[in-house]
Amino acid sequence: NAGVTQTPKFRVLKTGQSMTLLCAQDMNHEYMYWYRQDPGMGLRLIHYSVGEGTTAKGEVPDGYNVSRLKKQNFLLGLESAAPSQTSVYFCASSYGRVDSPLHFGNGTRLTVT
């Protein structure tokens, strides 16, 4: 079972460049999430989706866009990268019930210079 798979694992961008992070899950989960993790800040929610074709803003959405064209995939885009977006990005998915835990991928480490 692959679970939640994130690509790429590492990426270095220059300020102003764009990129897309891909998340894929094979557990038929309805809900998907993008978090960022920074030292001393914990995990913060960027955007999430409660189903195919839907997206919603989380706690820190500025500078990011997302799309959920297929149930199993959730894409996170950075249109014009900034050094403040240097972070580790985690994708997660869940069944969406109140008692459903989130299942996480192993993260993408992004550095913006």
Partner 1 sequence: EDQVTQSPEALRLQEGESSSLNCSYTVSGLRGLFWYRQDPGKGPEFLFTLYSAGEEKEKERLKATLTKKESFLHITAPKPEDSATYLCAVKQGAQKLVFGQGTRLTINP
Binding-site ranges for partner 1 (CB under 8 A): 4, 31, 33, 35, 40-45, 48, 50, 56, 58, 90, 92, 96-99, 101-107
In 10 A of CB 43, how many CB atoms?
Answer: 15
CB of 58 to partner 1, least distance (A): 7
When the beta carbons of 58 and 63 are compared against partner 1, the nearer one is: 58
Q: 63-85 burial, b if ≥16 CB within 10 A, otherwise e?
A: ebebebeebbebbbebeebeeeb
When the beta carbons of 50 and 82 are compared against partner 1, the nearer one is: 50
Give the residue among 85, 67, 70 at the shortest CA–CA distance from 13.
Answer: 85
When the beta carbons of 17 and 44 are compared against partner 1, the nearer one is: 44
